[in-house]
A and B are shown apart, each in its own frame.
Chain A
Amino acid sequence: MDDITDGLTEVSCDILVIGGGTAGPMAAYKAKRRNPQARVVLLEKANVKRSGAIAMGMDGLNNAVVPGYATPEQYTKEITIANDGICDQAPVFKYASRCFDIIQELDSFGIRFQKTENGDYDVKKVHHLGTYVLPMPNGDTVKRALYRQLRREQILISNRYMATRLLTGRDGEIAGAIAVNTRTAEFLVLRAKAVILCAGAAGRLGLPQSGYLWGTYENATNSGDGYAMAYHAGAGLANLECYQINPLIKDYNGPACAYVAGPFGAYTTNSEGRRFIECDYWSGQMMQEFYSELQSGKGPVFLKLNHLHSDTIGKIEAILHTVERPSRGRFHENRGTDYRERMVEMHISEIGFCSGHSASGVFVDEFARTTVTGLYAAGDMASVPHNYMLGAFTNGAVAGEHAAEFAAGRDLPDYDPSDVEQERARVLAPTRRDDGIPPNQIEYKARRMVNDYLQPPKVTAKMKLGQERLAEVREDLEGAMVARDAHELLRSLEVASILDCADMAAAASLFRTESRWGLYHYRVDHPEKNDADWFCHSILRKQDGRMMLEKRPVAPYIVPIEDEERSAYDRQRIRESA
């Protein structure tokens, strides 16, 4: 294993799904259900059995719109407000209307949600605005249940293949993808009538404070390949300046997790043990408040549980230490932290791209279609804001169904063989060198530059310098990176995606000359929100080989937001900056 082997195979299918984490399995499943005759391939860089953000399950659905607890209108309104109004509501509303069906379907797969003693879903109220949290204390079996369904539907699963580039046809429509085996370096050319990108967040963009490349908030396999592939295929990417930043257990860099402990009565405090968060919505505004408190004399920030009853803490531990990021328990044990006695020190994460928690990503409409014909995207990498896990499942389903219908009436497009040749040359370049810079060093440097120059507070002059530094790293990557086995080759391909994402982050951040989304896009030299010029999406795309940006109007709202509701939110901001 791991020896570099020469080889290339070509296969054809109707629908190709790239990424078998959360959205991907659902997309493949729904595509096959919609058209059982279709050949559906699910391609995964790791192994579908335990891949993606939900490798060990999740402790709950953060955004379940369950009848009787919340309505699609209410949810759409809250998401719109939380995103400072920059939100195409149609996909959000569609998600909110469909997600309860998906919950029931997941339940029928054997994925267990918390039920009351009467067998109903035990939806938790977190605050008076809306009730959306549905715990899944035994969520560690999510992937096993999904995998079983995929097997039964006879989806063709390709594990340990990393997609590196999309193939397009004569008119720029999608024609398939190129992938590389992560253990042999052999190539796989997949021709397809429709492709669904579900490759997750760009989680290895910033460098965690620990300095450990793999100590990321996101599953560290998610190196932003989906964004890079979409970009190179000409698709538009929306609002990439709206970063993801999350409050996490310091050093451990995983969630604490407020959604689990919150309903039990835990909360975030400053070092005086007082609450300080003014904002009602999980948003950049909230992160701004978190950041300010950390920087102030009242930091550090903590998650406070020590006021809870010992029995309650026992229950919280049972969840936090078995699902999602189960090694949390081990981390606390090493440091002698007992939730009963000490508050848990919190910090903010490195930056990333992820619509699971913010609003950026490959631009999609309410059918999960990107701006490239035949190319779909779902989950953390698609632009539907505040997706979380249920959004990945639901929008994956939307994409799978639509793609199945799209593919049914189509011939397999031809691709240009020279594209494959070019890609082979690019991929294999680091294997042609006898010496050079290994990918881990290139990655470390690129990500450190991201921290130094691109992380908020964003300063124009710094970001421009950052672009220069990143260009130098790119020269090293293209001219001197070396990969000695297939595994290092995988890493070297990932660094290329990371660097593409860093360039996109810088360009998008410089484009929007205002501040919006709280900390996510706080520009020191343009500190105010400017609705007159910037109440729009920013769309980044590759045109004639170059990165370009343009404005795109926000689609007219289908759920109107009263001025009063919007201004109530703005008042909170003013109080904060005062």
Chain B
Amino acid sequence: MIASASAKAPNEEARLPIAYTPTTLPVVVDEAKCIADKGCTVCVDVCPLDVLRISDLTGKAYMKYDECWYCMPCETDCPTGAVTVNIPYLLR
């Protein structure tokens, strides 16, 4: 998925180039507890907004997109208690 982000990098003649604006992510995964490397994908499966992914690099779950309804299935359904949902900063 890292590759896909750069597959369509803005080209040089771009009239409407795109910025990478930073944002703080509400959902945090404790990598020591996450068992995605053994095949778990529960949080990625259940998230209604589809914003979690398993990292190719670490083999652990992480939040890829800051588009969270702070609804908590990811945290509730994680078998190992690895996920913490924080309230997104803008409405905290």
What is the interface of chain A, defined by CB distance below 8 A to chain B? 1-4, 46-47, 49-52, 55-56, 140, 160, 182-183, 208, 210-216, 219-221, 251-253, 325-327, 330-331, 334-335, 434-438, 480, 482, 484-485, 487, 490-491
Contact = CB atoms under 8 A, between A and B. Distances in A.
B14 A50 contact: no
Given A210-B90, A435-B16, A325 B71 contact: yes
A375 B82 CA distance: 43
A140 B48 CA distance: 15
Given A220-B69, A326-B72, A327-B71, A47 B5 contact: no
Contact of B69 (A160, A216, A435): A216
Task: Provide the main secondary structure of the chain B interface.
Answer: loop
Given A215-B91, A252-B91, A434-B8, A182 B67 contact: no
Contact of B8 (A182, A213, A221, A484): A484
A219 B72 CA distance: 12
Contacts of A182: 50
A2 B1 contact: yes
Contacts of A437: 16
B91 A210 contact: yes
Contacts of A435: 10-11, 14-18
A48 to B, nearest CB: 10
B60 interface: no
Given A214-B68, A437-B16, A480-B16, A252 B50 contact: no
Contacts of A325: 70-71
A252 B91 CA distance: 6
A3 B69 contact: no
B72 A214 contact: no
Contacts of A251: 91-92
Nearest to A330: B87
Contacts of A212: 88, 90-91
B46 A485 contact: no
Contacts of A214: 49, 67-69, 88
Contacts of B11: 434-435
Interface residues of B, number: 38
Contact of A438 (B4, B18, B53): B18
B77 interface: yes
Contacts of B16: 435-437, 480, 482
A183 B41 CA distance: 15
Interface string B64-92: 11011111110011000000011110111
A140 B45 contact: no
A221 B5 contact: no
Of the candidates A50, A56, A220, A334, the one having the most CB atoms from chain B within 10 angstroms of its own CB is A50
Task: Provide the main secondary structure of the chain A interface.
Answer: loop
Contacts of A210: 90-91
A331 B50 contact: no
A253 B91 contact: yes
B23 to A, nearest CB: 10
B47 interface: yes
A219 B69 contact: yes
Interface in B1-38: 1, 3-5, 7-8, 10-11, 14-18
A485 B72 contact: no
A482 B18 contact: yes
Nearest to A216: B69
Contacts of A480: 16
Contacts of B48: 46-47, 50-52, 55, 219-221
A202 to B, nearest CB: 15
A326 B88 CA distance: 14
Closest 9 CB pairs of A and B: A210-B91, A435-B14, A50-B73, A50-B46, A46-B48, A212-B90, A327-B70, A484-B8, A220-B69
Nearest to A251: B91
Contact of A219 (B15, B71, B76): B71
Contact of B7 (A3, A208, A253, A490): A3
Contacts of A490: 50
Contacts of A56: 71-73, 76
Given A253-B91, A327-B85, A487 B50 contact: yes
Contact of B77 (A50, A330, A334): A50
Contacts of B90: 210-212, 215
A90 to B, nearest CB: 33
A252 B87 contact: yes
B45 A334 contact: no
A327 B87 contact: yes
B14 A434 contact: yes
Contacts of B4: 2-4, 484-485
B71 A334 contact: no
A334 B87 CA distance: 9
24 contacts: A1-B1, A3-B7, A46-B50, A47-B48, A49-B45, A49-B46, A55-B73, A160-B50, A182-B50, A214-B49, A214-B67, A220-B67, A220-B69, A252-B91, A253-B91, A327-B85, A334-B87, A435-B15, A435-B16, A435-B17, A482-B18, A484-B4, A484-B7, A487-B50
